[in-house]
Amino acid sequence: MTARVEHDRENATAILHLEGHLDFARTRAFHDQLEGLARQDDVRRLVLDFEGVGRLDSAGIAAISVASTRFAEAGKRVDIRNLEASHRAALDLMSAAGHQRTPDREAGAFERLGARAANAWGQLTALAELVVDAVYTMGLIAIRRRRLPKGALTEQAVRTGVDALFIIALLSFLLGLILAFQSAFHLAQFGANIYAANLVGLAMTREFGPMMTGIMLAGRSGSAIAAELATMTVQEEVDALRTMGIDPSRFLVAPRILALTIVQPALTLMSIFVGLLGGFLISTGFMDISASAYISQTLTALGMNDFVFGLVKSVVFAWIISVTACFTGLQIRGGASAVGEATTRAVVASIFLIIVADSVFATVSTLVSHG
């Protein structure tokens, strides 16, 4: 098929003279030519002349219908000449059935609020289902009614815990140094250098040890879990597991939650003691405090309840990170860009929820101790 374009500049009109057959094999080129004319600002009207067209099938009719809609959306007009009556009837039928559009109506404030509330409720329901399913699965694993995939727990523990040892230890050590340095100047003005041991000990045990470990694991391990599960979801691997009768909760979610539940308290204890070591080195090296006096003051300031408080927080933080990462990864929809979105959302949500939970712990413990 050939298409000869005749331009009438005075009337901003393009006349397209068609010759030959307009069938499925030639529709693409015809459609591209019409798209090019629709984008030309000097063309306000298009005339399609079918006098020289031999065979015209449904693909050609569809191309004409799409072009008419495209020109109408751009505020332009399409006129058709010399089209057989049967073809014109088919064109009218297709336009009436498939290309009638109703004007978009802007949603009102209450409608938008309702849509957001419905979406939030759906997300909360899906999150609750994930948590209940995970708890149920881990309960069955605990009573040996089910088993984790072989080596899954060890693999996840190494990836989320062992590989994070160095960075958490380094940051905790530096944090202990900073706390001791910051307290040294102010305490020295009152001759109370020894109380730097109290400050560093309580801060690392009750606050900075658990929270720093949680934030680091959220950024490091939580993002990895979310990205991995999001990739599996996008590539339909999770659906394939369900098709094969394999429970994703047992195969994917439970090992990750259990691994973080185990390794985070251990990393928190390590973080506390490394932070105490940093405070010890600064206090004994720059604050004229003997090693025995610093250790004695630390043991006096800290009690078993402080360590229990820190470890309970670490377990809560572990569940926040693992559940948020698994939920975000499994709920994502889309292509490759959705994986990055899931990763970012998991990290931001985990850190936010960790800080919220930490503030709740601090408020409750203060009220209980002074109540």
Same domain, 321 and 172: yes
Same domain, 139 and 242: yes
Tally of domains within the chain:
2
Total-model pTM: 0.66
The answer to whether residue 86 sits within a structural domain is yes
Same domain, 135 and 172: yes
Same domain, 49 and 130: no
Q: Where residue 91 sits, what CATH number does that domain have?
A: 3.30.750.24
Q: Return phi, psi of residue 345, to 5°.
A: -65, -40
- Answer whether residue 342 shows pLDDT above 80: yes
Last residue of a domain, one of 98, 115, 137: 98
Q: Confidence band (pLDDT; 50, 70, 90) for 174? A: very high
Same domain, 13 and 69: yes
The answer to whether residue 113 sits within a structural domain is no
For residue 1, what pLDDT is reported?
Answer: 60
Same domain, 94 and 130: no
Residue 101 vs residue 41, higher pLDDT: 41
Same domain, 188 and 42: no
Last residue of a domain, one of 80, 98, 116: 98
Q: Confidence band (pLDDT; 50, 70, 90) for 348? A: very high
Q: Confidence band (pLDDT; 50, 70, 90) for 17? A: confident
Same domain, 94 and 184: no
The answer to whether residue 103 sits within a structural domain is no
The answer to whether residue 339 sits within a structural domain is yes
pLDDT single digits (tens) 301-317:
888 988 999 999 999 99
Q: Rounded mean pLDDT of 350-369? A: 89
Same domain, 142 and 17: no
Range of the domain at 52: 2-98
The answer to whether residue 71 sits within a structural domain is yes
Pairwise CA distance, residues 230 & 334, whole Å: 10
Residue 316 vs residue 50, higher pLDDT: 316
Q: Confidence band (pLDDT; 50, 70, 90) for 99? A: very low
| pLDDT > 90 fraction of the chain, expressed in percent and rounded | 20
- For residues 268 and 213, the answer to whether their CB atoms sit within 8 Å is yes
The answer to whether residue 40 sits within a structural domain is yes
Q: Rounded mean pLDDT of 20-36? A: 72
Same domain, 274 and 150: yes
The answer to whether residue 118 sits within a structural domain is no
Same domain, 23 and 167: no
The answer to whether residue 366 sits within a structural domain is yes
**3-state SS track over the chain:** CEEEEEEEHHHCEEEEEEEEEECHHHHHHHHHHHHHHHCCCCCCEEEEEEEEEEEECHHHHHHHHHHHHHHHHCCCEEEEECCCHHHHHHHHHHHHHHCCCCCCCCCCHHHHHHHHHHHHHHHHHHHHHHHHHHHHHHHHHHCCCCCCCCCHHHHHHHHHCHHHHHHHHHHHHHHHHHHHHHHHHHHHCCCCHHHHHHHHHHHHHHHHHHHHHHHHHHHHHHHHHHHHHHHHHHCCHHHHHHHCCCCHHHHHHHHHHHHHHHHHHHHHHHHHHHHHHHHHHHHHHHCCCCHHHHHHHHHHHCCHHHHHHHHHHHHHHHHHHHHHHHHHHHHCCCCHHHHHHHHHHHHHHHHHHHHHHHHHHHHHHHHHHHC
Lowest-confidence pick of 16-25, 155-164, 226-235? 16-25
Q: Rounded mean pLDDT of 92-108? A: 57
Q: Rounded mean pLDDT of 348-370? A: 88
Same domain, 214 and 84: no
Lowest-confidence pick of 238-242, 293-297, 299-303, 331-335? 331-335
Q: Rounded mean pLDDT of 115-135? A: 85
